[in-house]
Structure 1
């Protein structure tokens, strides 16, 4: 415990950020619906956040190198807090789009700052315990935050104020952390062509995850409201999908380390597709049938990002793992920009069931592409892979390094990343 104690302020800060971010995503979709925004405008607002997140992913390393961790975190937390509370002052979809874009830049930078700071403080002796606590913080804070919506209510300014307060208070625990600022991270050269050459399948896979999973996070509340679920049931619906994502992460990861990883990607995609079709055509408006469906969807869909990232690392050369980590997050962001916007138009035209029909079509296309890549390229033998499966959060490229273990070594004993 003495090894973990210095990291507790950083973990508390991460919990506040992750919970506030999860609350904001669900709440803004529901509040926008109440304010009379069309589904396509709600999709536009969600896209604003993802555009900002992609920008933050690209520039955060430069910011950290320029002004350091403490100043970066303080500035981004203050801006994100102001952007959150500003949304209640002017109810307008284009203004909300701008505020969400700013919030996306800030949250990408805040997550990267915290995870870079954690990486500078963890050792191999406490890495596994820190990672377990971090994932527990992630799951617990996101799930608990959803239930603030039915507790406080959608109307008024209260939830906007709570989100702003959370972002401001995130400065407090980090202020009690180690007073020394960690060394700025090394700059990562971003090369899209190199990433594509490393693994076309992983690149497309991360885009697909952005197209589908991020669309669920942005428009899931709209789907749930459209089929008649109560506010409490909507919070449960979103939470169950997130919890479901934990269940199959490690079983799928273990098998992907032993077998052709693309077979597991194919299996997870197929499971997600079936769950999407079930939600679109069979769940109807029954609460429990929707809870079961979204739990299964989350169980298969949420591990896809980690599986695709692991597949890319299988083909990465020594020294390319940082590029892969940043690149996969960027490609996920690209999919997350397009998905909510396109799917929102479909919901406007065809109704809430269109969300999971769209998801199923995208996943079916990815299955076909996976089969094509399996025919075009041989599998990397398990003994030649440069990295084991890692259960990754899509918070920053630094999480991949945090999730590294001492066992991630090449056959010659050199560390892989």
Structure 2
């Protein structure tokens, strides 16, 4: 506990930041519906966030190397807060798309700054415990934030103000209580072709996770509202998917360390497919059945990123771990851009239940591809693996390439929530 105490300011900052961002993602969908935006327009706005996120992931290393952690965080938090308030002032799809794109760029930079800061402050002895606490902060803040929606209401200026306040207040803990000055991240060259050669399955898996989980975050509230759930029930529905994403992270990761990792990826893919088929054909309009279904979807779909990332690291050569982290995150971003757009168009032409039919087609294709890759190449022997599963956050994996502290030997990171390797 004494090792965690110096990190409390950073963890508090992360909690405020993650909670505000999670609240905004759900709120934008519900407010867009209230303003008369179609599902396809809301999907486009959601894609705008992921476009900005992808851009932020590519350029944040340069920003951190240029001006440092605290200046980067201050600038991006101010821009994100201003973008959130601007959406309250101008209710227009084009403006909202632009502001969500800006917010995505800022949030990617903010998450990367906090998580690289954390990685610079921990040692190999307490890294896993620290990131576990971080994961709990992530889960708790996002879940709690969802219930501000029914408490404050979707209409009016209130939630926009609360979100802007959260993004601004996230500056306070690290500004007042953290005087550390982390080293800037190493320079890095993007080579996506090299990543594909390392792990075609991981690359495809990362895209699939983006294609399926991003539409859930952007369009899940639309589905829940369409089947008649109350605002409070919608908050519970979205929280259930997020909580589900944590429940099986460790068990699936543990078994993936002991077996051919592709078998666990396949099992998680099948579980995800079964859960979305259940939501599409059996959950109906029953609140309890829908919450159970989305919980199961989160439980199987969310760990896929970590499993695939760990699988890619199994095949990575020395010096390629940073490439794997950055590349997997980038390919996830591509899927997260396309997913909300495609799913929202289907909802426009059919019904909100098309969201889960779309996911089922994507997941079925991924299952077939995984089986084909298992036939094309043998698995990595457990004793020869270069990494073990760790359930980290996406951006955090990208920055695990930071040099270890001088007092501890550096070991290659294992990678976060990503779909990897063949």
TM-score range, shorter chain: over 0.9
Aligned length: 408
> Is 1:133 aligned with 2:129?
no
Deviations 1:158-190 (A, max 9, x none): 000000000110110011233242111101211
Is contact 1:119-1:398 (8 Å) kept? no
1:111 partner SS: helix
1:72 corresponds in structure 2 to 72
For residues 226-265 of structure 1, the aligned pairs below 5 Å read 226-265=226-265
Normalised by the size of structure 1, how large is the TM-score? 0.96
Distance across 2 between alignment mates of 1:400 and 1:220: 31
1:12 partner SS: helix
Distance across 2 between alignment mates of 1:399 and 1:227: 41
1:342 partner SS: helix
Distance across 1 between alignment mates of 2:35 and 2:178: 44
Is contact 1:221-1:234 (8 Å) kept? yes
2:321 corresponds in structure 1 to 321
Tell me which of 390, 411, 415 is aligned to 1:415.
411
> Is 1:300 aligned with 2:296?
no
Distance across 1 between alignment mates of 2:84 and 2:181: 27
Is contact 2:24-2:163 (8 Å) kept? yes
Distance across 1 between alignment mates of 2:343 and 2:286: 23
- Structure 1 residue 399: deviation in Å? 5.7
Deviations 1:346-401 (A, max 9, x none): 00111011000000000000011111111111111111111001112224444656
1:222 corresponds in structure 2 to 222
Is contact 1:6-1:177 (8 Å) kept? no
Deviations 1:320-371 (A, max 9, x none): 1111011111110000000001100000111011000000000000011111
- Structure 1 residue 5: deviation in Å? 1.9
2:12 corresponds in structure 1 to 12
Gapped runs of 5+ residues in structure 2? 414-422
> Is 1:193 aligned with 2:197?
no
1:213 corresponds in structure 2 to 213
Is contact 1:329-1:396 (8 Å) kept? no
Aligned-pair Cα RMSD in Å: 1.4
Is contact 1:305-1:392 (8 Å) kept? no
- Structure 1 residue 415: deviation in Å? 2.7
1:348 corresponds in structure 2 to 348
Is contact 1:392-1:399 (8 Å) kept? no
1:123 corresponds in structure 2 to 123
Is contact 2:272-2:301 (8 Å) kept? yes
Gapped runs of 5+ residues in structure 1? none
1:357 corresponds in structure 2 to 357
1:128 partner SS: helix
